[in-house]
Amino acid sequence: MMRSVFLFILIMIFSMPALFSQEGEQLGIYEKLDQYIPDDLVFVTENYDTVNLLAQIDKPTVIVPVYYECPGLCSPLLEGVADVISKARIELGKDYQVFTISFNPAEKPRLAKEKKETYARLAKNVSNLETGWVFHTGDSLNIHHLLTSLGYMIKKEGRDWIHPGAIIVLSPDGKITRYLHGTYFLPFDLKMAIVEAAQGRSGPTINKVLKFCFSYDAEGKKYVFNITKVSGSIIILLALGFFITLVMKSKRTTLPKTEK
């Protein structure tokens, strides 16, 4: 019986990745902590300056992957960035910088400039916004290389994109040190991520719930609770718990009583 239980548990464990990847393996975030972004990435800023991305990184840098005409997640994500840089007790442009990068190659610097003006107004009492928070656009090749190096996988659906919500923190030499998931970020979390990035230290990701529990509804243009994935996970965990309980009970089985 013990052998059967053990085999069942192994089957359940190895079947979990297949369950979680039913919507496509190349979608979501595959963290690449301690790896470096390429040194040949070329993007264009909202001021029409063509820049080597790595050459612009001389301090801890927050990468914000979005596309500017996103109908769903990108707006609250950028609002969350504006909010956290307003509240975090670190100086934008001096202690760190923020690079918002569009992954839609059809978007151009003029749109990037408009979006910067919109979200910069939400950042209250923040100096150095002009140089500290830069909005970028790029061509498909450079975008692909950047997203691949970050482990940030997206999928095009019609005119829109299915994508996760997160920001990525880089060290001053371009090493990936932290992923912060979601659209709302605590000032303390950002500050610690920046401090660690300045020291070249990477940190584990604690909150990955959004990536796992939500998926994009292309028709409704919104993120919805993925009941299939979550319920499937619960069923597997319950099954594992049930069989572990059987194993524990079998160990406590007493010997038959001898007749007097």
Instruction: Note the pTM of the prediction, 2 decimals.
Output: 0.74
Give per-residue pLDDT as tens, 79-130: 999 999 999 999 999 999 999 999 999 999 999 999 999 999 999 889 999 9
In a domain, residue 244? The reply is: no
Angle, CA 102 vertex, CA 99 and CA 107 arms, to 5°: 135
Instruction: Name the strand (E) or helix (H) holding 145.
Output: helix 140-150
How many domains does the structure of the chain reveal? 1
Domain encompassing residue 143: 31-224
> For position 159, which CATH number holds?
3.40.30.10
Fill in the DSSP letter of residue 163.
-
pLDDT reported for residue 176: 98
Instruction: Supply 213's token pair.
Output: 């529990």
Residue-wise pLDDT tens digits, 39-64: 999 999 999 999 999 999 999 999 99
Assigned domain for 3 exists: no
Phi, psi of 121 (to 5 degrees): -70, -20
How far apart (Å, rounded) are the C-alpha atoms in residues 14 and 49? 49
In a domain, 100, yes or no: yes
Q: Which value, in Å, is the radius of gyration of the alpha carbons in the chain?
A: 23
Task: Decide if 230 is inside a domain.
Answer: no
* Amino acid making up residue 81: V
